[in-house]
A and B are shown apart, each in its own frame.
Chain A
Amino acid sequence: MTLTDALARPRPRDAGHASPMSLWRLLWLELRRNAMPWMFPLLAALFVFDAFRSAMGYGPFWDLRASALENKLLPDFVAFVAGVAAWMGSRDSRRRTRDLVDATARPRWTAQLTTWAATTLWVAAGFLCCVAVLYGVTASQATWGGPPWWPVAVCLAELALMSALGFAVGTFFPSRFTAPLAAVGAFLLSLEGFRNAVGRSSAYALLSPTTYVPDDDTGLFHHYLPDVSIAQLMFLIGLTMVALAILGLRRAADAGPQLRRAAAVIAVAGLAAAGTAIGLIGTARTQAYGTVIPALHDAANDRPIPYTPVCSQAAGVPVCVHPAYRNFLPDVTAALAPVLREIASLPGAPARVDQVVVNDLIPSNGAAITGVPPVFRLPMPATPDETSFGQNAVSFTSYLQATLVTVFVVGAHGFVTLGPVGGTPAQQAVVLALLQKARTATQTGSGPGNGSHTKADQVAAAARRFAALPATTRHAWLAAHLATLRAGDITLAQLP
């Protein structure tokens, strides 16, 4: 049949009504012709070189690696999703199809929601592919726990919000420049704008997913606290609902009473959800093992997670770590053994090494030698700032040795880093000497902390002198003077 031989066809008696099947088909068409998949090669490259690489720099700990989703992958995605959503939102104006679409029976809002949904589904699919790769690799390496899904849910909610905002901007300000401007705006908003708007130290900054960074060993000793994630979800979903409802209310005159009511209800519900989230996050308080929102907090999450430590021997001393660190136990024992040999049988020398939870609220961050017999309580960092599992074994070894020696000589004085050593000059000199004997002085930084260069030179010279003593002499001196040294009553000149 062609134009010339077209035959009259029977007219439909029922003009039809919006059916779910029609909506699915419409969504399918939008999915097939959405612009988002064109962004996937760029997003894949960003994922590999940014989020994935950063995550692989952490130890294979589920919650720590999942933090790369919020802090790396999400900022990478939001710019693209906002830009593409703005592009799709401005489509009918750019392509001059508004009259065509307006002359159809289906309310424009539902057509717009279909286009938005297709864009958002593509974004979600791309994001989940990245999550699958990250979690898949982590699953092959981790020795404890399982994948956390709260960060994934929060990221998806933020992507939906950025998609809705971008789409709304594209609809209200249709132009070829809208999409790039929306992309840049979303990127700045997600990274800096929100935090600067509410104040970096404000509890309200927690509403931004990229603000929330978990502790190194979150989810190992204590449960991941979902309180903040729940508030974030309420906030993000609420704003998404408001943005989408505004699209519907904008064309209220052209929509039916049912759709107008639906848009109004969605807007009110969204505002209520976002407002409630803001109220809840204002009550957030930081506790030892995470941020707690009393109204959302489940007390069951406060109970420690039971586990059986895995142990080995270092210079005859049992060294026990959390099973999540099982793969690093040989590195830990190899690092601690030379120091444990050096301080063996001295007063307060640890008879056992136990890994403890990282706790930012305790001045020593948990590192201490306590109890009878003495137990070295060792918090394990896992972020590249402090050490680098798998990337820089020397740094990790140095960190462990420096922590043990410093805690042994100086006491629990703060989280040990690879920089200058704290304590009195005499304590610094002894610490440096012991570390030199453990062959790590060059990696731990050879200079003492505070003071002038002259003082630093004096400490370094004393450390060299002390390290040069025969082991038995050094050991005997420490056995006799360790208590006085720890009390800070020995001067540099009194060191042998």
Chain B
Amino acid sequence: MNVEIAGLTRHFGRNQAVAGVNLEAGPGVFGLLGPNGAGKTSLLRMMATVLPPSSGKMRLLGREPGSYGPRREIRRRLGYLPQNLGYYPSFTVVEFVEYFALLKEMPAARVPAAVAAAIERADLGDKARAKLRTLSGGMLRRVGIAQAIVNDPELLLLDEPTAGLDPEQRVAFRALLRNLGERATVVVSTHLVEDVGAACTEVALMNAGKIVFRGTPEQLTAKGEGHGVGDAPLERGYSAVLTEARS
């Protein structure tokens, strides 16, 4: 298992963002669904080792990130796309991706080829030399994806990766997710249930800091049978689980 989480919590003052999450995930695309404020981003930040948990146990890629050495090893094999992607406006696409490849301590000799491949995979080949300040929101999102996958991570954490992508790019991105999920554990946090249906092999639904559903997209769809809210079957399942959890 690449992700083993037990009883994970995180408080921000009196607010409990994550309230005892248990989760295990191996290779594949894992969808993390939930309404705003459900704790998805906090959970992803803890898995990205940038936010220490308040309590609970977490093993990533077979290592515990609490101590420096294992945490550094995890980070070398980690890809992370935050919800609010920051960037350096004066960097070009190539420079930005290369910068993060170097920060991930990739061997210098491998960096140029890995950067070129990541940029191509994110379909940014024709913008490789463009400065980030000149790119649209959707393109910046793809730059974020490129930097996340540049080290060919074993654990890829994507927070709202398709926000800002046009439908064509979204379809292409789902294909990329499926491809990455063949070898790595890809955790995708999203509001868009169609992304989950198209790309994820497994899905969890969070509400109020807890995982209230865990199963395949088909199982989530089945939960919505007979439930009236939602345009698509998966949306109806999502609404049904949330309604049940809140009641």
Task: Write the residues of chain A forming the contact surface with B, with a CB cutoff of 8 angstroms.
Answer: 1-4, 6-9, 11-12, 14-19, 21-22, 25-26, 29, 32-33, 91-92, 95-106, 111, 254-257
B80 near A97: Cβ-Cβ < 8 Å: no
Tell me which of B44-52, B186-194, B195-203, B228-236 binds A: B44-52
Find out whether the CB atom of A8 lies under 8 angstroms from the CB atom of B95: no
Given A25-B98, A100-B82, A100-B86, decide whether A257 and B103 contact each other with a Cβ distance below 8 A. Answer: no
Give A295 Cβ to nearest chain B Cβ, in Å: 42
- CB <8 Å contact, A99 and B183: no
Q: What residues of A have a CB within 8 angstroms of the CB of B48 in the complex?
A: 99, 103
Q: How far in angstroms is the closest Cβ of chain A from B225?
A: 33
Shortest CB-to-CB span from B154 to chain A, Å, is 7
Q: For the complex, count residues of B whose C-beta is within 8 A of A.
A: 55
B12 at the interface (CB under 8 A from A): no
Minimum CB–CB distance from A110 to chain B (whole Å) comes to: 9
| B76 engages A96 (CB within 8 Å) | no
Please indicate the chain A residues that have their CB under 8 angstroms from the CB of B109 in the complex. Answer: 21
Residues of chain B within 8 A of A29, CB atoms compared: 91, 95, 98-99, 102
Structural contact, B120 and A8, CB atoms closer than 8 A: no
Whether A25 contacts B102 by the Cβ 8 Å rule is: yes
Q: Secondary structure at chain A's binding surface: helix, strand, loop or mixed?
A: loop
Q: Which one, A2, A97, A101, contacts B123 given CB within 8 A?
A: A2
- Cα-based distance from A97 to B107 in the complex (angstroms): 23
B175 at the interface (CB under 8 A from A): yes
Chain A's closest residue to B173 (CB) is: A3
Chain B residues near A111 (CB-CB < 8 A): 103
What chain A residues lie within 8 Å of B182 (beta carbons)?
8
Within 162-182 of B, Cβ neighbours of A (below 8 Å) are at 169, 171-173, 175-176, 179, 182
Q: Does B127 contact A (CB under 8 A)?
A: no
With an 8 A cutoff between CB atoms, is B10 at the interface?
no
- Are the CB atoms of B95 and A95 closer together than 8 Å? no
Interfacial residues, chain B to chain A (CB-CB below 8 A): 45, 48-50, 68-69, 72-73, 75-78, 80, 82, 84-91, 95, 98-100, 102-111, 117, 120-123, 125, 147, 151-152, 154, 169, 171-173, 175-176, 179, 182-183
Q: Is the CB of B172 within 8 A of A4?
A: yes
Q: B117 to A1, Cβ gap below 8 A?
A: yes
Assess whether B88 is in contact with A6, with CB atoms less than 8 Å apart. no
Closest to B179 in A: A6
* Residue of B102, B109, B125, B147 contacting most chain A CB atoms (<10 Å): B102
Nearest CB in chain A to that of B74: its residue: A105
| Max count, chain B CB within 10 A of own CB: residue among A3, A14, A17 | A3
CB pair A19 B103 closer than 8 Å: no
Whether the pair A100, B107 counts as a contact (CB closer than 8 A) is no
* Candidates A11, A97, A100, A254; contact of B154 at CB < 8 Å: A11
Alpha-carbon distance A98/B88, docked complex (angstroms):
12
B residues near A255, Cβ cutoff 8 Å: 68
CB of A96 within 8 A of CB of B77, answer no
Known A6-B176, A15-B76, A25-B102: A96·B50 in contact at CB below 8 Å: no
Return chain B residues, CB-CB under 8 Å to A8.
179, 182-183
**Bound-state Cα–Cα, A6 to B149, Å:** 12
Residues of A near B117 (CB, < 8 A) are 1, 9
What residues of chain A lie closer than 8 Å to B120, measured between beta carbons? 1-2, 6
> Hey, which chain B residues are within 8 Å of A101, CB to CB?
103
The 6 tightest CB contacts between A and B, nearest first, are: A96-B86, A3-B172, A97-B86, A104-B103, A21-B108, A15-B76
B75 lies within 8 A of A16 (CB) = no
Interface CB pairs A-B, < 8 A, 5: A2-B120, A11-B154, A22-B107, A32-B95, A102-B50
Known: A12-B152, A19-B107. A104 touches B100 (CB 8 A): yes
Complex contacts, A21 vs chain B, CB 8 Å: 108-109
Q: Is the CB of B88 within 8 A of A257?
A: no
Q: A6-B175, A256-B68 are in contact. Are A25 and B86 (CB under 8 A)?
A: no
Complex Cα spacing A15 to B69, Å: 14
Q: Which of B72, B110, B111, B183 has its CB near the most chain A CB atoms (within 10 A)?
A: B72
How far apart sit A61 and B171, CA to CA, in the bound complex (Å)? Answer: 73
Q: Are A92 and B106 in contact (CB under 8 A)?
A: no
- Bound together, the chains give a CA A229 to CA B103 distance in angstroms of 38
Contacts of A256 in B (CB 8 A): 68-69, 72
| Cross-chain contact A11 with B50 (CB below 8 angstroms) | no
In the complex, which residues of chain A have a beta carbon less than 8 angstroms from the beta carbon of B172? 2-4
Bound together, the chains give a CA A254 to CA B123 distance in angstroms of 34
Pairwise interchain contact A3-B102, C-beta atoms closer than 8 A: no
Contact A25 B108, CB 8 Å, known A1-B117, A104-B75: yes
Chain A residue numbers with a CB within 8 Å of B152 are 9, 11-12
B141 to chain A, nearest CB (A): 12
Query: Which residues of A have CB within 8 Å of B73?
Result: 15, 105
Q: Which residues of A contact B175 (CB under 8 A)?
A: 3-4, 6
**Interchain CB contact under 8 A, A26 and B102:** yes
Query: Complex: how many Å from CA A22 to CA B104?
Result: 10
Report which residue of B50, B111, B176 has the largest number of chain A beta carbons within 10 angstroms of its beta carbon: B50
